[in-house]
Chain A
């Protein structure tokens, strides 16, 4: 483990940021390794055919982190991607075989694949990963013409492939994310994204009026710093391990987790945010969040996301989304 702790790339092959705090990371990893071992033992006690069926115990387990080697199967189960897969009349490889007759779309995917994680050592050393990414994105685009290909899906697919190491599983997980779990973020007018940016604004206003007022005063639209939160699900925004812990919960509990993470990030950096005096400083403050101790310590961070923002129910989120879809339509 010592090797990875001081390596310039993380456990998933991503280059660490230039200002990465290795000492802080080493301290955290020493503690986190023990957590991972303990969690793996706990997961191994789950028995039986229905061991990954959703219930309070499994939800608690997922919130504390799914072991890396179980992520494929657990994500497939709790997100119900497995249900989609089992119910599909054609299997992935048959869907993949169908010719896609949208050359512009294919061209765009072809351009984006080599420039997705170009510095990740896995994508550099294993050429088949790029081929698999192309296959997943092109197959997805073919079977969902409302979305087709949206830039951002390339990053999600890339990380899915790194974690699951399986093209077919990555396809079904991408499909369940885009079509069932997330609102219409990736469709051609990105309507779901515009709505959720407004929802975020209202949640921040309720949650911390000082921060909300400050951000208004500086005049920063949320989209400037949070588009990647929604589109890439924090991929390339937060450290990879933190991202995967967040994804564990998104697959289980849905898109409200994005708001929990967002509000927690904002609250943890309240002092820094209020200290900024102009837009460029504020943008930099958001960019630097990935290097903060509270974010690197993903285990504590995940405890915080369920504590700090208080209650965010599916019903309330639904109500806000309906409210802001109406406002969007009026614009």
Chain B
């Protein structure tokens, strides 16, 4: 990974860090969770994205200054009845994107419920981002930008309106999360909840199996 990303060894000779974070996407069915991930990971968009059963797992790496951030992404099923399976995906996650559809007020209410559940049950240091997706359909908007921004501010969430279709703010929201995640205090022997795992050069994760995934 270190060699492939090209980020670990900088031209000026300083050694970059490689961090791995677990990120979970939550939100009502059909708000665009899988589409956001597909856009972020493969740069693609499908008008008809298959409904996710259980959850899908994907990874993507981003470079941020001197750090390479590898996201392990859990894209979960949105239908309410799959809710009982959700804790296994957000438990131990360092970041979450809670998604709603700006053209559907109910999905915003559902997003708030997810945020509450994360605040209560996920890691206390989890970084939560709120994504108002389908910004390309702003002419059918039912959730005002200001309303969501106020809610996000009150709850200490990152917030962006996104469009998986046009790619608006998709990379940005993942980057904003990467920036907010703690990356600089991990070489002190902590690798538990809420901490990204720092990998040493050449370390493929073999020495600390599943550290960030419990």
Contacts and interface: CB of A to CB of B under 8 A. Distances in A.
B59 interface: yes
Interface residues of B, number: 31
Interface stretch (B45-53, B113-121, B125-133, B174-182): B45-53
5 contacts: A116-B50, A118-B47, A151-B53, A217-B209, A231-B54
B140 interface: no
A279 B206 CA distance: 11
A277 B79 CA distance: 32
Given A112-B30, A227-B85, 5 more contacts: A115-B51, A116-B50, A152-B53, A186-B81, A223-B85
Contacts of A114: 48
Interface of B: 29-30, 46-55, 57, 59, 72, 77, 79-82, 84-85, 88-89, 204-206, 209-210, 213-214
User: Which of B57, B81, B89, B209 has most chain A Cβ within 10 Å?
Assistant: B81
Contacts of A236: 50, 53
Contacts of A186: 81
Minimum-distance CB pairs A-B, first 8: A227-B54, A118-B48, A279-B213, A115-B48, A151-B79, A283-B57, A221-B88, A278-B209
Interface string A88-127: 0000000000000000000010011011111000000000
Contact of B53 (A117, A231, A277, A287): A231
Contact of A190 (B29, B50, B82, B210): B82
Contacts of A277: 204-206, 209
B165 to A, nearest CB: 14
B115 to A, nearest CB: 22
A155 B205 contact: no
Contacts of A287: 57
Contacts of B50: 115-118, 236
B9 to A, nearest CB: 23
Interface in A54-100: none
A188 B81 contact: yes
Contacts of B88: 221, 223-224
A20 B193 CA distance: 38
Contacts of B53: 151-152, 155, 227-228, 231-232, 236
Interface in A242-288: 277-280, 283-284, 287
A189 B204 CA distance: 39
Contacts of A190: 81-82, 84-85
A218 interface: yes
Contacts of A112: 30, 51
A18 B129 CA distance: 33
Interface string A11-53: 0000000000000000000000000000000000000000000
Nearest to A197: B85
In the complex, which of the residues B29, B82, B89, B206 has the most CB atoms of chain A within 10 Å of its own CB atom? B82
A150 interface: yes
Contacts of A116: 50-51
Interface string A118-139: 1000000000000000000000
Contacts of A194: 84
Contacts of B214: 219
Contacts of B89: 224
